[in-house]
Amino acid sequence: MRPKIAFDQSGSGTPIIIVVGAFNTRSTGAPLAAALSAHHTAITYDRRGRGESGDSVPYAIEREIEDLDGLIQHVGGSAGVLGFSSGAALAFAAAAHGLAISRLALFDLPLHLVPPQNPIDHAAALDALVRAGRRGDAVEYFQREIVGIPEPVIVKMRTAPFRPALEAIAHTLVYDATLIGDGHVPLDRARSIRIPTLAIAAGAAPPFMRETAEALARAMPHGRTLVLEGATHDLVPEVLTPPLLRFFGP
């Protein structure tokens, strides 16, 4: 039985669904959704296992694609999709799967052009930590090994007020790690995505994200790149709303 997926919907017009990344719930995309809702029907949702959404086991990327498809059907059978970070990996997978996505925006897709020589099964490592009840360790593993946050910063964040919220959804880090896989962007799949696609990279994000965005745009039949110079790896409405409205339409 498919779990209930909690979402917020605002505005009117052609729909845009925001797919958030690791450590995020639908509240992360709410400010951007509010800005987009002046011209569009904007939806932000809790991916399975987070916030007010349900879950089912075992996890599979296909189930998350079905969740997104359910939202697309809810808004009429077709929608624009904005994926952020590992949510961009999910949006990319959904587009390659053939979901009725009218336009696709990928912001800071966390995949590299060069595959690792000795890939690590991060999903298995995270799953072991969560099953052992070591949610805090799972949070820090993801921050250190996948995001690349420096150790002194990780130590400081242990006492941050948002730390309990991160631990509460630590089990979903397994899902994000599964989506990222070996960290290599599948350009062969990109070539099969024939919808208009905007590959966005934040200028202040790790440089590989810009390289990936540019490579994706070259590989996709209808892809183009946008580098937001000075922007950080965050969903900032003031930064993202103008280019997204130009891409998705008024």
Q: Domain map of the chain by residue range? A: 7-114+182-248, 122-177
Phi first, then psi: what are they for 184, rounded to 5°? -105, 130
Q: Which of 18, 52, 88, 65 is nearest to 248 (CA)?
A: 18
Please compute the mean of the pLDDT values over residues 162-178 and round it to a whole number. Answer: 97
User: 15-24, pLDDT tens digit by residue?
Assistant: 999 999 999 9
Rounded Cα gap, residues 15 and 224, in angstroms: 21
Q: Please, what is the Cα angle at 228 between 102 and 161, to 5 degrees?
A: 95
What pLDDT score does 117 carry? Answer: 83
Return the H-helix or E-strand segment holding 72: helix 61-74
- Work out the number of other CB atoms within 10 angstroms of the CB of residue 164: 10
Is the pLDDT assigned to residue 181 strictly greater than 80?
yes
Is the pLDDT assigned to residue 235 strictly greater than 80?
yes
- Residue owning tokens 């498919």: 2
Exposure class string for 182-201: b at 16+ Cβ within 10 A, else e: ebebeeeebeebebbbbbbb
CATH code assigned to 7-114+182-248: 3.40.50.1820
Cβ-based neighbours of 156, under 8 Å, separated by 6 or more: none
User: 39-91, pLDDT tens digit by residue?
Assistant: 999 999 999 999 999 999 999 999 999 999 999 999 999 999 999 999 999 99
Is the pLDDT assigned to residue 1 strictly greater than 80?
no
- Work out the number of other CB atoms within 10 angstroms of the CB of residue 65: 19
What pLDDT score does 115 carry? Answer: 80
Please compute the mean of the pLDDT values over residues 89-102 and round it to a whole number. Answer: 98
Phi first, then psi: what are they for 118, rounded to 5°? -130, 80
Please compute the mean of the pLDDT values over residues 122-132 and round it to a whole number. Answer: 98
Please compute the mean of the pLDDT values over residues 111-128 and round it to a whole number. Answer: 92
Is the pLDDT assigned to residue 160 strictly greater than 90?
yes
Q: Is the pTM of this model over 0.85?
A: yes
